[in-house]
Amino acid sequence: MAGMSVDGLVSGLDTTNLINQLINAEGASQKALKTRLTATQQAASAYRTVNTTFLAVSAAAEKLTPTALTSARTASSSSSAVTPVATASAVPGASVTFTVQSLASTQVSLSKAVWTSPTADARGAGPAWPVEIYDENDTKVGSIDIPAGATLTDAAKAVNDAGYGVTASVVKLGENRYTLQFTSTTAGEAGGFTVKSADEDMTTMGSGFVTTAPARDATLDLGGGVVAKSATNTFPELLTGLSVTVSKADPDAQVTVTVGSNNDAVASNVQKLVDAVNAAIDTVKTYTNNGKDSKAALRGDYSIASLAGQLLDAVSSAVGTYGSPAQAGFQLTKDGRVTFDKNAFLTALKDKPEMAQALVLGTSATTAADGTAVPAVKGVAARLLEVAKTASDSTTGTLVSMANGKDAAVKDIQERIDSWDLRLEKRRETLTRQFTAMETALSAMKNQSTWLGSQLSALG
């Protein structure tokens, strides 16, 4: 019915246009809803964009933990064959000197017996089965036997299934020449083992195998008869917070490893925080711009605009008795942004580390010598983190709540728009029926008028 055309059948009226005009007039409320829907969707998107920048502030502030200003450490080595790694507990300026006497190795032993193929009878050549595995202290670990007719491959599997600290593999030496290799599952000296054949005693055990790689610890000579050992080539905590990995033995070359401070890395993290703050401030200003002809999605939204002010306050306000964060390089510009002077920060970190740490991170609650409670003081990073989390927390954040509120409004408006679609469609159908009925009535009247006219003419 809605698609029927009744234009001027009798009346000559443009009824389709009349119906469209009537529908448009009655649909003004729906058009207003559609305009409101677009604005609400844009606001929801804007809240989420602003929220993203505050999440970035949170992430950057969280990297400046209470130990961040004292935990950045470097480690240098005088030899490319020694790789040092320093952690937060390493002491800047600490060093250690040593020579690398040996590298660690895992024991590998090959049977002296040779077989013609992996499927050859394992008992056709030594060792005599069952075999016994002894550890590095010549303590028996266990015994391994194979059934009659077992192949070399079966023998290797029996060793592997036993789980006695060694694995076995079939090794091809050449055409029709295979042997059995035993490898320790434990690195270093602790993985040493001996294979005792059934035809050997405690004085001759192991004679059926040749060791191609010994069970050996990596060894560092620290001087004065002091030796450090490791089952691997890494020496964890050689000094407190310092580990070294060696890759080459050179008993004649002294190596010195030194711990240093990586304050540049700390400054870099502070700069990233400042950059995140400026990005959040710029985004807030863009979306709340209240200037003439502004079409900002959150124009004049004070609750959002005030977030930028909270960030600036967090950076500029004094930190307890330590005073202005400017002493650590933080400054505000005339246009409401934050600058960071890296050199000023590094100087403060070097000359007054306690102050620098307090200005950025604050101080924990303590008790004075007289028993008086000293409250905690929040530094710049902690205050920025608090502002950002209050705004962007996934459960209670104001920006998240506002975006969710707009989403709910979008859903409600869309439902009302859909209801109007049905209402206007019904109205169009009604108007079409009415105009069709009018045309039909006019047609009947016209026919009747024509008939009466013919009758009158006949009487004349």
Mean of the pLDDT values across residues 165-183? 97
In a domain, 443, yes or no: no
CB 212 within 8 A of CB 108: yes
In a domain, 304, yes or no: yes
Q: What is the pLDDT of residues 408-423, one digit of tens each?
A: 888 888 888 778 777 7
Beta carbons within 8 Å of 71's beta carbon, 6+ residues apart: 65, 87, 88
Residue whose tokens read 């952690």: 87
| Secondary structure string (H, E, C) spanning 370-398 | CCCEECCEECHHHHHHHHHHHHHCCCCCH
Q: Which two tokens stand for residue 333?
A: 């510009």
Total count of residues recorded for the chain: 460
User: Do 99 and 225 belong together in one domain?
Assistant: yes
CB 386 within 8 A of CB 311: no
The Cα 307–Cα 54 span in angstroms is 10
User: Do 116 and 168 belong together in one domain?
Assistant: yes
Mean of the pLDDT values across residues 362-381? 84
User: Do 254 and 270 belong together in one domain?
Assistant: no
In a domain, 418, yes or no: no
CB 184 within 8 A of CB 164: no
CB 135 within 8 A of CB 283: no
The Cα 110–Cα 119 span in angstroms is 18
Q: 346 falls in which pLDDT band (50, 70, 90)?
A: very high
98 or 455, which is more confident? 98
296-300 contacts: CB < 8 A, separation 24 or more? 296/46, 297/39, 297/42, 297/43, 297/45, 297/46, 298/43, 298/46, 298/47, 298/50
Residue whose tokens read 């975006």: 403
Closest CA to 310 of 26, 50, 41, 40: 50
User: Do 40 and 181 belong together in one domain?
Assistant: no
Rounded to whole angstroms, what are the CA distances from 177 to 48, 108, 148, 197, 252?
71, 19, 21, 21, 42
Structural domain containing residue 380: 34-67+264-401
In a domain, 131, yes or no: yes
Residue whose tokens read 């000579």: 221
Taken in order 233, 239, 243, 247, is the CA torsion positive or negative?
A: negative
In a domain, 417, yes or no: no
Q: 145 falls in which pLDDT band (50, 70, 90)?
A: very high
Max mean pLDDT range (48-52, 103-107, 286-290): 103-107
31 or 56, which is more confident? 56
Residue 460's pLDDT is what?
60
Residue 71 has pLDDT above 90, yes or no: no
- Which of 364, 379, 401 lies at the terminal end of a domain, its last residue? 401
Residue 2's pLDDT is what?
46
Could you tell me where the DSSP H helices lie in 214-318? 263-288, 302-316
CB 328 within 8 A of CB 359: yes
Taken in order 20, 24, 27, 32, is the CA torsion positive or negative?
A: positive
In a domain, 388, yes or no: yes
Where b means 16+ CB within 10 Å and e means fewer, 438-453 reads bbeeeeeeeeeeeeee
User: Do 137 and 243 belong together in one domain?
Assistant: no
Residue 69's pLDDT is what?
65
User: Do 225 and 85 belong together in one domain?
Assistant: yes
CB 168 within 8 A of CB 93: no
Mean of the pLDDT values across residues 342-368? 87
Residue 70 has pLDDT above 80, yes or no: no
Residue 130 has pLDDT above 70, yes or no: yes
In a domain, 294, yes or no: yes
pTM value is 0.58
- Which of 401, 433, 452 lies at the terminal end of a domain, its last residue? 401
In a domain, 301, yes or no: yes
User: Do 177 and 248 belong together in one domain?
Assistant: no
Q: Which amino acid is at 396?
A: T
The Cα 425–Cα 445 span in angstroms is 30
User: Do 308 and 391 belong together in one domain?
Assistant: yes
Q: Which amino acid is at 122?
A: A
User: Do 99 and 236 belong together in one domain?
Assistant: yes
Q: What is the pLDDT of residues 203-241, one digit of tens each?
A: 999 999 999 999 999 999 999 999 999 999 999 999 999
Percent of the chain scored above 70 by pLDDT? 95
Q: 445 falls in which pLDDT band (50, 70, 90)?
A: confident
CB 158 within 8 A of CB 150: yes
27 or 100, which is more confident? 100
User: Do 310 and 292 belong together in one domain?
Assistant: yes
Q: How many CA atoms lie within 13 A of 431 on its CB side?
A: 21
Quote the number of domains for the chain: 3
7 or 395, which is more confident? 395
Q: What is the pLDDT of residues 4-31, one digit of tens each?
A: 455 655 556 667 777 777 767 776 777 8
Mean pLDDT for all residues in the chain? 88
Q: How many CA atoms lie within 13 A of 459 on its CB side?
A: 6
Cis peptide before 118 (omega within 30 of 0): no
Residue 1's pLDDT is what?
44
User: Do 242 and 149 belong together in one domain?
Assistant: no
Q: Which two tokens stand for residue 382?
A: 């902690």
User: Do 364 and 392 belong together in one domain?
Assistant: yes
Q: What is the pLDDT of residues 247-306, one digit of tens each?
A: 999 999 999 999 988 888 889 999 999 999 999 999 999 999 988 888 888 888 898 999
- Which of 353, 378, 401 lies at the terminal end of a domain, its last residue? 401
Q: Which of 49-58, 149-158, 288-297 has the lowest mean pLDDT?
A: 288-297
Residue 140 has pLDDT above 90, yes or no: yes
The Cα 379–Cα 382 span in angstroms is 5
